[in-house]
Amino acid sequence: MPQKTPHKQRRAKNGAPKSRARPARAVDQDPANRPGVPMETAPRPLAGARVPIAPQHAEVPVFKHAGRKEMPPVFGTAQPPKGLSGLLRKVAYAKPDHKPGHWMLLLLADRVDVWEHRLRRSLPWAAPSTAALLAGGLIWRVRRA
């Protein structure tokens, strides 16, 4: 039968035996006395939201930070959709999100939004350039005839 080897006692760097005592656990404070609690407010839609949003938990209270304004709502229309891309997004959100057409319309709306932005950004220099080219072409035709 094999013999058990004696347990070697571990020692700290200073030569004293290491203590195996665990540090005392911190006692958690009452949630009402903690700083910064509660951290969140209940989600609620802004006025004018396109989709009716029903709260999932009716018992969730609306909290405020101590000395601060109320936190902004989760659902908002900070930048409402506009133009052709906005129209495409409205059509896409009318479809259920498990349909591929919903996501394809959103992707198309993103691409249209990029082209709208490029057109809007180039309009200050593109319109005068086009007018100058048209005027030059008309003058050239008149002289040639």
Per-residue model confidence as pLDDT tens digits over 10-32? 666 676 666 666 667 777 767 67
The tokens describing 25, both together, are 């656990």
> What pLDDT is recorded for position 36?
67
Question: Which range is least confidently modeled, 53-62, 84-93, 97-106, 125-134?
Answer: 53-62
pTM above 0.85, yes or no: no
Q: Give CA separation, 93 vs 50, 56, 58, 99, in Å.
A: 9, 21, 26, 11
> What pLDDT is recorded for position 20?
65
Domain ranges within the chain, ordered by starting residue? 82-145
Instruction: Give Rg (Cα) of the chain.
Output: 34
Band of residue 132 on the pLDDT scale cut at 50, 70, 90: very high
Residue 56 has pLDDT above 60, yes or no: no
Per-residue model confidence as pLDDT tens digits over 96-129? 889 999 999 999 999 999 999 999 899 888 888 9
On whether the CB atoms of residues 116 and 84 are closer than 8 A, the answer is: yes
